[in-house]
Amino acid sequence: MGDVKLMKGNEALAEAAIRSGCDAYFGYPITPQSEVLEYLARELPNRKNAAMKILQAESEVAAINMIYGAAGAGKRAMTTSSSPGISLMQEGLSYIASAELPCLLANINRGGPGLGTIQPAQGDYFQSTKGGGHGDYHLIVLAPSSVQEMADHVRLGFDLADKYRNPVMILSDGAVGQMMEKVEFPEQITNLQVDKPWATVGKPKSRERNIITSLHIDPHEMEAINLRLQEKYKVLKKNEVRYQTFMTDDAEYLIVAYGLAARISQKVVELLREQNVKAGLIRPITLFPFPSEIIKQVGSRVKGILDVEMNAGQMIEDVRLSIEGKTRVEFYGRMGGVIPTPEEIFEHFEKIFLKGESK
């Protein structure tokens, strides 16, 4: 048994970063994620064996470019922010994805668009999973729904980043970042060990110089880079899909939801089961690569699917693509930082699937 602590999601994320051998954290304050930098600033001086360098950058633009530099130098680098800050990081992320630098970032998603609200939301799904910056690229996107997963996804995220030389995003929301729960840290952390012979650490006589760039003027060369990235995304889709199912074995109805919305939806499934409605839940843990296969498998044999999100309906497009028109897919969502209650989701479910009322 490792260390058991009661912590906020953001603190668990920061603690996990220390324990996962993160070498550098560069960030900029924004609610509801500022506890990450605050926790690191408070804790690191007391951790004799933690070598992590931290810095409060002058902006998110600077922070993500510091990450680019440190990741390019072969180190484990991490940043965190929330929606408006993540928008500013999109430039850097596009460069990082193109240069294939491994790094970790977390978006503690708040309500938008614009300056929006500091309340939890899932409105950044498109931005996170479909690229976000310019060009054809993807981040690996992990969606924790508990404080425990906020911690677990840090090590997983760093390992995936190193393994695939790709930026990884932890996409959670203000509620998961701010809620306090029990979290267990393993006694022994074993990180994936990978060589980084491409890193810019100073050129020894024995090798050619290393260059980290995303510039390829020749279109054929640029296309070759794009093809390589697309190949990588295919491998990710094959090997790294993660999800959780809840009561799907005998399900006649299915709810698909991630993060906080999934935790609320689990309660909805329980309420439905109490009414003898055989409902089940699929919770994507990786939003990219998206768990299309399992959604297709379970979803094709149910009477209806309800996609629940804290946005206007973004993941629903991926659910519909997965199901290939075989099953009716309906949506329930709240926006702008409003958290849906299990009861209102239940009511909506009942109305459209059980009472046959049209919306």
Partner 1 sequence: MTDKSDVLVGDQILISEDVCRIENLVYEKPETLTDTVMHYCPGCGHGVAHRIIMEVVDEMDLQEDTIGVAPVGCSVFAYHYMNIDMQEAAHGRATAVATGIKRVLPDKFVFTYQGDGDLAAIGTAETIHSINRGENILIVFINNAVYGMTSGQMAPTTLEGMTSTTSPYGRDIKTMGHPLKIADMISILPGAHYVTRQAVNTPANVRKAKKAIQKSFEYQKLGKGTCFVEIVSNCPSNWKSTPVESNKFVVEKLIPFYPLGDIKVPKE
59 lies in the binding site for partner 1 (CB under 8 A): yes
Contact 279, 255 (CB under 8 A): yes
Pairing of strands 167-173, 103-109: parallel
d(C-alpha 75, C-alpha 70), whole Å: 6
Q: Does 91 bind partner 1 (CB under 8 A)?
A: yes
CB contact set of 328 (below 8 Å; sequence gap of 6+): 303, 304, 305
Question: Residue type at 169?
Answer: M
3-42 residues in contact with partner 1 (CB under 8 A) are: 23-24, 26
In this complex, which beta carbon is closest to partner 1, that of residue 188 or of residue 206? 206
> Using CB under 8 A, which residues numbered 94 to 113 contact partner 1?
95, 99
Q: Does 58 bind partner 1 (CB under 8 A)?
A: yes
55 binds partner 1 (CB under 8 A): yes
- In the bound state with partner 1, the residue whose beta carbon lies nearer, of 207 and 359, is 207
**Measuring CA to CA, how many Å separate 207 from each of 13, 204, 218, 264?**
38, 6, 25, 55
Query: Rounded CA gap, 13 and 112, in Å?
Result: 23
Q: Can you tell me the distance from the alpha carbon of 293 to that of 297, in angstroms, rounded to the nearest whole number?
A: 6
CB distance 82 to 55 below 8 Å:
no
Residue 68 contacts partner 1 per CB under 8 A: yes
Q: Which of 9, 32, 85, 92 binds partner 1 (CB under 8 A)?
A: 92
Residue 42, both tokens: 């408070």
Closer by beta carbon to partner 1, 55 or else 271: 55
Write out the binding residues for partner 1, residues 202-261 only, by CB under 8 A: 202-205, 209-215
Q: Is 194 in the site for partner 1 (CB under 8 A)?
A: no
Residue from 148, 20, 22 nearest 78 by CA: 22
Other beta carbons less than 10 A from residue 49's beta carbon: 5
**Could you tell me the smallest distance in angstroms from the CB atom of residue 77 to partner 1?**
7
Instruction: Please name every residue paired with 255 in a beta bridge, in sequence order, or none if there are none.
Output: 281, 306
Q: Which residue in the set 14, 17, 18, 77 belongs to the binding site for partner 1 (CB under 8 A)? A: 77
29/69 with CB nearer partner 1: 69
Name the segment binding partner 1 (CB under 8 A); options: 60-68, 231-239, 300-308, 329-337: 60-68
Nearer to partner 1, 85 or 111 (CB): 85
Report 292-321 residues binding partner 1 (CB under 8 A): none
**Stretch touching partner 1 by CB under 8 A, among 117-125, 180-188, 197-205, 269-277:** 197-205
Q: Is 73 in the site for partner 1 (CB under 8 A)?
A: yes
Pick between residue 56 and residue 300 the one whose CB is nearest to partner 1.
Answer: 56
Q: What are phi and psi of 279, to 5 degrees?
A: -110, 155
Does the footprint of partner 1 cover residue 70 (CB under 8 A)?
Answer: yes
Among positions 17, 18, 40, 57, the unique one binding partner 1 when judged by CB under 8 A: 57
What is the C-alpha separation between 313 and 334, in angstroms, rounded?
9
Alpha helices, DSSP H only, in 29-146? 35-43, 60-72, 83-99, 125-129
Query: What's at 316, amino acid-wise?
Result: I
Which of 21, 69, 186, 313 contacts partner 1 by CB under 8 A?
A: 69
Considering only CA atoms, which of 68, 142, 81, 71 is closest in space to residue 109?
81
Binding region for partner 1 (CB under 8 A): 23-24, 26, 53, 55, 57-59, 61-63, 65-73, 75, 77, 91-92, 95, 99, 200-205, 209-215
